[in-house]
Structure 1
Amino acid sequence: MKALIAASILMATFGTGAAHAAEIPSASLEVQAKALPQGQYFWASNAPQNGPLLLTIDLTEQRIRVYRDGVLFAASATSTGSEGRETPTGVFTILEKQVEHRSSTYDNAPMPFMQRLTEKGVAIHSGNLPGYAASHGCIRLPDAFARKLFAITEIGTPVMITDSAQIAERERIEAEYRKAQQDYAQTLYSKQAAAKSVLTEHNRAKAEHQRAMEAYAAEFGQPEKPRR
């Protein structure tokens, strides 16, 4: 999903919820996505027009990225669910779209350019971005970006929500588990090798003793057995 637009098409429109626009210097759009100031976004001026659309949202980064046919062409800062009201992770599809919508749960709060993802009302919409996760579970976007995004999505457009911090922690735990397995296997192998070495030495000593006994018998005859 980190496919990049070639350098020749990296000029993009950069803006905030206000009517502000400028040109981004030629650089990796993925780098731009990570470095976006709070409340700002970019949208490639020559964004691809054909191919499947995919939205990805990272709760740790507080970023939404928009891909067309695997190519990143737009990204924005977001504000997702606050502690105790976390935005759910997983793969969703857009279930409903309304240009003007008000919350039936939270004091009739306005949710412009609403795109609903779950039956419980989690949605993408225009809203305030204070610089941290502050919503009741929805994904807030700058107004101008929400408007642009609303114009290109359809019912059924897939949305993948992840938490890179959770993923990193899970990968760390899995890496530790794999290392523990490898260490155990190495320890077991070392013990088995040591036991095999002891057994080999025992068999060598036993064979040497047997040869000594046979040599003694050949020279002096079979030794007498001790009397009881």
Structure 2
Amino acid sequence: MLKIAVCVSGGGTNLQAIIDGIESGKISDTRIVLVFSNNPNAYALERAKKAGIPAVCKSPKNYPARDDFNKDFLETLKSAEPDLVVLAGCMVVIPKEIVRAFPNRIINIHPALIPSFCGQGYYGLHVHEKVLERGARVTGATVHFVDEGTDTGPIILQKAVMVEQDDTPEILQKRVMEQAEWKIMPKAIDLIAHGKVRVEDHKVIIDGYDPQSI
């Protein structure tokens, strides 16, 4: 049984996709042992409550220094004893101490096709704004392992989404979530739960991977 801790900052739509995936069987042999949020107003906390999942909120604003928050963040994750940490719309910069404590055991969902539209400053709606500003015809989402860089970890899954001519950032964001994010995050967790994912030379190898399955 894969035990996962899910870190969130906002509405928790990807968290809901994971909850639904576990309930439907699309994600098997997996249990959410903790939902962590840095935002007390995150609706994701309500989603966790409705699903009967333990949830913890710790805001950096309540600590005298960022290092104090980072230490408590790490200890909170460790106490849940997860096999995998899932960043599902988490706006906290993950400190190196946490990355080192969970090597190749932290995954993130990014709302674009890495290495395009990623790195410092590319998060949330801003990603979709930049996609439209550039006139890109195709965008999508990426699930990747987290390393000490920004969106530089090994890529696990990607799914493309077409950009339409009349898109606004909000419309594009919704389509990317529906057509890509909510599909590849549950799929990646299920693959990891069944031991089909490994990292070699900073690249992900997936045993028996069928790209048509997502």
Coarse TM-score class (shorter-chain normalised): under 0.3
Between structure 1 and structure 2, the one with the greater Rg is 1
- TM-score between the two structures when normalised by the length of structure 2: 0.22
TM-score, normalization: structure 1?
0.22
